[in-house]
Amino acid sequence: MKIIQLLLNGAAIIKSDIFEDNRGFFTRLFCQKELSKLHNSKSIDQINYSFTKKKGTIRGLHFQKNPFEEIKIVRCLKGKIFDVIVDMRKNSKTYLKWHGEILSENNHKMLYVPKGFAHGFQTLEDDCMTIYFNNEFYNPQAELGIKFDDKLLNIKWPIKMTAISDKDLNFESLNDISIVH
């Protein structure tokens, strides 16, 4: 696995080694030994899987408030997504900065999302499948969200939004709420 640090402190791209032959390929999705450079958590407490039918769908931006913050490792297993993270750590030098990365079944990249970051994605193809490795259990009472088109963040989504959940659509903007760490 190759780890590429991003400008957002603590966030990284993980590029899997691919072992390919006439049968197809083999790759690791998770290796604690290799990923220990990024974090010291020894557990993956929850693995989530999403299937998104329609190109242009946005999921997010979600995060959990302290002390239920979670580390995520996100990979697109089928299709192609624009994966976005936002640094919500008030004392961070990259506070409220965002990064977007194309993850696809073909590029074998994963996005490492540290604690204190909001996360979301937009599907760039129909029928996308995404897997998330989380080091904490989901706590619905601790979930927070940011409006996907928040003017303060000004995220450059690659294509027009075609679908979003009512919950995600109705998140408030950063100017209207105080959801920082």
Domain extent for 62: 2-169
SS (H, E, C) 9-33: CCCEEEECCCEEECCEEECCCCCHH
| pLDDT, tens digit, 9 for 90 and up, residues 23-70 | 988 877 776 666 666 666 667 888 899 999 999 999 999 999 889 999
- Neighbouring CB atoms inside 10 A of 159's CB total 12
Residue owning tokens 């290796």 = 31
Is 57 inside a domain boundary? yes
Question: What pLDDT sits at residue 181?
Answer: 46
Global pTM?
Answer: 0.90
Is 118 inside a domain boundary? yes
Closest to 50 in 3D by CA, of 77, 24, 23? 77
Catalytic residue positions, numbered: 62, 132
Residue 167 in 3-state DSSP? helix
Query: Within a 13 Å sphere around the CA of 120, how many CA atoms are in the beta-carbon half?
Result: 29
| pLDDT, tens digit, 9 for 90 and up, residues 95-152 | 999 999 999 999 999 999 999 999 999 999 999 999 999 988 889 999 999 999 999 9
Q: How many domains does the chain contain in total? A: 1
CATH of the domain at 47: 2.60.120.10
Is 18 inside a domain boundary? yes
